[in-house]
């Protein structure tokens, strides 16, 4: 398998899952700032021009974080990344989608790329502020979910990788404080050997 990733991007969560699984894979670094996502080989594999992109052993390509995370968990049951039972799987998907579709796409995108939401430069601070509100509210909701829990669902799962990457952005990239339960979860993630290997490989600091 090949994972096309950018250091510190959302692909860091998929990178973690691959390390947890322990199967051989190649991590292919993509420099987003230099526009490598728009050039071969990635542009030939994924016309969406984004990471994560996973090229599987049979040459087929899988895109979009929730789909890749679920597929990795479901196709590698021995890794214990797929929760037990339909309800827990649905909850894991619910949390993953909340992280990706709301905190990332609605919140962080406004903070990091305000020009995509406000043609007028004078409106961009307001856009960033709205992004922080969306992100903070999302974290508070997830913090409530984690009350009395070690992991996002009843056991460690693919959902924890999504929660990890948005929390890394909030605390590690933006320097903001995580809610108490989220902070506890984040520290537990950072203590996992797979996460440590990914942080080192991508040159990241918590």
Among residues 79, 109, 134, which one ends one of the domains? 79
Residue 154 structural domain: 86-192
* 204 in a structural domain: no
List, as one string, the DSSP characters of 119-187: SSGGGHHHHHHHHHHHHHHHHHHHHHHTTT-SSSSSS--HHHHHHHHHHIIIIIIT-PPPPHHHHHHHH
Q: Which of 16, 50, 79 is the last residue of a domain?
A: 79
Token pair 């993630």 in the structure block, residue: 189
Give the pairing of strands 53-55 and 61-63.
antiparallel
pLDDT in tens, 83-123: 999 999 999 999 999 999 999 999 999 999 999 999 899 99
Q: CATH number of the domain that 33 lies in?
A: 3.40.30.10
Residue 136: how many other CB atoms lie within 10 Å: 16
Q: What is the pLDDT of residue 206?
A: 82
Last residue of a domain, one of 79, 100, 132: 79
The C-alpha atoms of residue 108 and residue 136 are separated, in whole angstroms, by: 10
pLDDT band at 11 (very low <50, low <70, confident <90, very high): very high
The CA distance from 83 to 86, in Å, is: 8
Same domain assignment for residues 90 and 74: no
| Same-domain pairing of 53 and 116 | no
Q: How many domains does the chain have?
A: 2
pLDDT digits 0-9 by tens, 47-56: 999 999 999 9
pLDDT at 126 over 90: yes
Task: Give the C-alpha separation, 114 to 121, whole Å.
Answer: 9
Cα–Cα distance for residue pair 55/109, rounded to 1 Å? 26
Residue 206 placed within a domain: no
DSSP structure string for 74-117: HH-GGG--SPSSHHHHHHHHHHHHIIIIIIIIIIIHHHH-GGGT
61 and 143 share one domain:
no
Query: Across all residues in the chain, what is the average pLDDT?
Result: 97
How far is it between the farthest Cα atoms of the chain? Answer: 52
Same domain, 90 and 188: yes
- Within-domain flag for 198: no
Band the pLDDT of 204: cuts 50, 70, 90: very high
Helix (H, G, I), strand (E, B) or coil at 202: helix
Residue 50 lies in a domain: yes
For residue 110, tell me if it sits in a domain: yes
CA distances from 92 to 96, 103, 133 (A): 6, 16, 24
Instruction: Give the pLDDT confidence score for residue 119 in this predicted structure.
Output: 85
Query: Is residue 203, in this structure, part of any structural domain at all?
Result: no
**Residues 62, 145: one domain?**
no
Same domain, 63 and 90: no
The two beta strands, 26-29 and 2-5, are: parallel
Rounded to the nearest 10°, the torsion over CA 130, 136, 139, 144 is: -120
């Amino acid at each position: 398998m090949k994972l096309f990733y950018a250091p510190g991007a959302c692909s860091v969560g998929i990178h973690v899952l691959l390390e947890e699984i322990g199967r051989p894979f190649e991590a292919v670094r993509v420099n987003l700032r230099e526009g490598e996502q728009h050039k071969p080989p990635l542009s030939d594999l994924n016309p969406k021009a984004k990471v994560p992109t996973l090229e599987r052993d049979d040459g087929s390509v899988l895109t979009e974080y929730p789909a890749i995370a679920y597929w990795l968990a479901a196709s590698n049951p021995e890794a214990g990344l797929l929760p037990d039972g339909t309800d827990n799987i649905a909850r894991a998907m619910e949390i993953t989608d909340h992280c990706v579709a709301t905190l990332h796409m609605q919140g962080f995108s406004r903070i990091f790329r305000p020009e995509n939401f406000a043609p007028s430069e004078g409106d961009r601070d307001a856009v960033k502020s709205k992004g922080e509100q969306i992100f903070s509210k999302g974290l508070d909701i997830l913090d409530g979910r984690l009350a009395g829990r070690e992991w996002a669902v009843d056991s460690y799962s693919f959902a924890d990788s999504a929660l990890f990457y948005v929390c890394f952005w909030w605390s590690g990239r933006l320097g903001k404080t995580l809610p108490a339960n989220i902070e506890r979860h984040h520290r537990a993630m950072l203590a996992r050997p797979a996460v440590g290997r990914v942080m080192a490989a991508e040159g990241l600091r918590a």
